[in-house]
Structure 1
Amino acid sequence: MTDLSAGPRAPEALCPGPDPDPRGPRRFAVPSGAVDTHAHVIGLPPRWPLVANRSYTPPEAGPSAYLAMLDATGMTHGVLVQVSVHGTDNRLMESVLRAHPDRLRGIGVVGLGRSEAEYGVLKAAGVVGLRLNVLFGGGVSLDGLESYGALCREMGWHLQLLLDARQLPELAPRLAKLPVPFVIDHMGHMPAAGALEEPGFRTLVSLVRDGAWVKLSGAYRLSDDAPAYPETTPMARALLEAAPERCVWGSDWPHVANWGVMPNVGDLLDLLADWAPEAALRHRVLVENPARLYGFPA
């Protein structure tokens, strides 16, 4: 089974780089306006320091490689998510957002208690939400969930959560009280085998039905059965059935903290042909839904 956390690996363990030849899907045409809602840019020290408490050490994945991936896969827009190894130092992501204001949006990672001006800099750069990451070192925990919800309400942002869905039964009452929209990463980041019978995944489906958003992403993290990852299809279909208007897709490029076979983004896109067989539903997932959530033109 795929390792869903960094496990006992030392931070110095270098995870592989992404497939150097990304391509679009073979099973359907990517519609105009499509958005990849989940990817990262990664720099190297000394210019871009890596946090000491990181769970893994990735190779560089710079802005030019990221933009080339978007172009090769047919993505009109992209959303950059602050990667855990850079902690709360959002400078690299900010610089890429500022260089491409019409094409990109960002999800930042920040500490609480910063100045209004500091948060304003992020918003001006194109940040539209904040991420709380409880799975990898360098992220921000859920301890301040309510305070982050208040900050996001003040800034006009949403919250994005990287967690294991098996935590959700206990966490759901707190999430239901958030004053802002929230997004769950990677279909709940739990093993795909038997997921539909797990209380945590059933809680995720209920939260999505009641108003949460979810990213149909990270299939290679949930199943080892590459490249089709068939065990993830029931998960994606259950989430799409719960709220087709609040599901979005992400490549998770450059697939950090992955020591297995690196997927090609085209293969991950092709999963949508099984998850959402109807073209109209794929259009919602790739174009209409992310346009609403991230503020892109539909």
Structure 2
Amino acid sequence: MSAHSPKSPGWLDWYQNPSEPAFRLPPGTIDTHCHVFGPQAEFPFAPERKYTPCDGGREQLFTLRDHLGISRNVVVQATCHGADNSAMVDAVEASGGRARGIATVRPDITSAELRRLDAAGVRGVRFNFLRRLVNTTPKDDLTTIAEKVAPLGWHVVLYFESADLPELEGYFGSLPTPLVVDHMGRPDVTEPVDGPQFAHFLRFVERNDVWVKVTCPERLSVTGPPALDGQRHAYADVVPFARRAVEEFPDLVLWGTDWPHPNLTDHMPDDGLLVDHVPQVAVTTEQQHKLLVGNPMRLYWPGEAV
């Protein structure tokens, strides 16, 4: 692979000039879902990747963090880097204690390597079940990984489509770690929020005490980003789903930006608007504090002061 592979055709770069949010995030806010891409010259992308992104490194991530009023980050390994966690670990280690990491690892990873990742600030692994992003997801291999990371107190982050949950939930429930679900399990927001699909997801959360990321309205929305009321309220079709998750599971919900927003095809979100989405889904001060500060602190910095 050349040092500088061209971006995938039609790739949308992250928004260069995010607006100033109207909503002021509470002190201690944690972005629990963001990534770093390269930079490619320093951290080459994996040969087996499904996409080639633009660069979006730690400096740009930390600049966005400070602009939005975020205090800490959880950097999730991007699929374009495969199981080479170097870029993610570099960002976590450069944060001065203000970041944690979620890794991608192979089943043959050694205990020594897991301890090294743990010392660097990694607190979980991600299992990806989206066929468009990974070729296969062999459950035996994933079970082996979960059994290796469980003694460290790590959790497993699950990324799947809501339509696939009935097929997968038995396997998920067998894993020996806490579970965190990305993007509310990607509900179909054209279906009723009270419909059987989302109700099934909520009961899965309830039965298994699953942490839920109420993230990526820009990825789930069908109506798109325009504000419908003349204010900074975008992605209105996602609001009922996220609000339901926050109301039913106020102590298990998490928030994040998903910067630099991989694999979007129709628009690139203004991260300032994503912050202004928060009070639409967490409507009380107590809900907002749990979503943004209290819950992620318990999961990623247990026992530490904000």
Check whether the contact 2:30–2:74 (CA below 8 A) recurs between aligned residues: yes
Corresponding residue of 1:294: 300
2: CA distance between counterparts of 1:130 and 1:151?
Answer: 11
Letter in 2 for 1:297: A
Corresponding residue pairs, total: 288
The C-alpha deviation readout for 1:71-95, integer Å capped at 9, x for no partner, is 0110011110000000001011111
TM-score by length of 2: 0.88
- Which stretch of structure 1 is more off in the superposition, 166-175 or 209-218? 166-175
Of residues 241, 255, 258 in structure 1, which corresponds to 2:247? Answer: 241
Check whether the contact 2:48–2:82 (CA below 8 A) recurs between aligned residues: no
Check whether the contact 2:222–2:237 (CA below 8 A) recurs between aligned residues: no
Cα distance change on mapping 1:250 and 1:18 into 2, 3 Å: same
Letter in 2 for 1:116: S
The C-alpha deviation readout for 1:184-222, integer Å capped at 9, x for no partner, is 101112331115355443222112223001101111111
Check whether the contact 2:213–2:256 (CA below 8 A) recurs between aligned residues: yes
2: CA distance between counterparts of 1:190 and 1:53?
Answer: 28
Aligned Cα RMSD in Å?
2.0
Cα distance change on mapping 1:45 and 1:275 into 2, 3 Å: closer
Check whether the contact 2:146–2:176 (CA below 8 A) recurs between aligned residues: yes
Corresponding residue of 1:80: 75
Letter in 1 for 2:210: A
2:47 counterpart of 1:39: no
Deviation of the 1:234 alpha carbon = 1.5
2: CA distance between counterparts of 1:81 and 1:117?
Answer: 21
Secondary structure (helix, strand or coil) at the match of 1:102 reads: coil
2: CA distance between counterparts of 1:142 and 1:77?
Answer: 33
1:187-202 matched pairs, under 5 angstroms: 187-194=184-191, 196=193, 199-202=196-199
Letter in 1 for 2:91: V
Letter in 2 for 1:72: H
Structure 2: gaps spanning 5 or more residues: 1-5, 226-233
Structure 1: gaps spanning 5 or more residues: 1-9
Deviation of the 1:39 alpha carbon = 0.6
The C-alpha deviation readout for 1:146-178, integer Å capped at 9, x for no partner, is 223212212210000111121111211222222
Corresponding residue of 2:160: 163
Secondary structure (helix, strand or coil) at the match of 2:158 reads: strand
Deviation of the 1:49 alpha carbon = 2.1
Letter in 2 for 1:95: D
Of residues 255, 270, 278 in structure 1, which corresponds to 2:261? Answer: 255
Cα distance change on mapping 1:140 and 1:287 into 2, 3 Å: farther
Deviation of the 1:142 alpha carbon = 5.4
- Which stretch of structure 1 is more off in the superposition, 198-207 or 148-157? 198-207
Corresponding residue of 2:219: 221
Deviation of the 1:22 alpha carbon = 2.4
- Which stretch of structure 1 is more off in the superposition, 139-148 or 42-51? 139-148
2:157 counterpart of 1:149: no
Cα distance change on mapping 1:99 and 1:278 into 2, 3 Å: same
2:97 counterpart of 1:102: yes
Deviation of the 1:37 alpha carbon = 0.5
Deviation of the 1:68 alpha carbon = 0.3
Work out the percentage of aligned pairs sharing the same amino acid: 34
Secondary structure (helix, strand or coil) at the match of 2:114 reads: helix
2:274 counterpart of 1:268: yes
Check whether the contact 2:128–2:159 (CA below 8 A) recurs between aligned residues: yes
Deviation of the 1:23 alpha carbon = 4.0
Cα distance change on mapping 1:262 and 1:165 into 2, 3 Å: same
